[in-house]
């Protein structure tokens, strides 16, 4: 087996530094270097699935990153708005409203 040289992802390291080495390792080396790089889904599709899961769970802190990441991965603002509206009916209106508020702030901040 060849060693994974990685994508250079450092989100875990940036968030925790040397504080939580296990969380840094699994975030940077396993989640982003391995799972996000698998061929079974495009990064765009992975972003939509991740946004859906985080919205359903009401995890707005993580949505701040993943909604921006979805935009980088080719999901349009209109697609994200429609996905969040759809999700509101399946995951609860407060979750959909919270996620849409996060998206609104990202769009206003980055545009």
* Torsion sign, CA atoms 41, 42, 43, 46: negative
Q: Assign a CATH topology to domain 42-111.
A: AhpD-like (1.20.1290)
Write down the pLDDT at residue 4. 44
Q: What percent of the chain has pLDDT over 90?
A: 68
Confidence band (pLDDT; 50, 70, 90) for 47? Answer: very high
Per-residue pLDDT tens for 50-97?
999 999 999 999 999 999 999 999 999 999 999 999 999 999 999 999
Q: Are 49 and 83 in contact (CB under 8 A)?
A: no
Q: Where are the domains of the chain?
A: 11-40, 42-111
Helices (H), 1-111: 11-16, 21-25, 43-57, 60-72, 77-91, 93-110
């Amino acid at each position: 087996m060849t060693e994974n040289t990685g994508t250079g992802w450092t989100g875990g390291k940036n968030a925790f530094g040397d504080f939580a080495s296990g969380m840094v390792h699994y975030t940077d080396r396993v989640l982003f270097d391995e799972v996000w790089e698998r061929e079974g889904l495009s990064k765009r599709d992975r972003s939509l699935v991740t946004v859906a899961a985080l919205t359903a769970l009401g995890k707005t802190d993580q949505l701040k990153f993943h909604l921006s990441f979805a935009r980088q991965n080719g999901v349009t603002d209109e697609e994200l708005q429609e996905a969040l509206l759809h999700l509101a009916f399946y995951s609860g209106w407060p979750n959909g409203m919270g996620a849409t508020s996060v998206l609104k702030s990202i769009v206003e901040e980055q545009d």
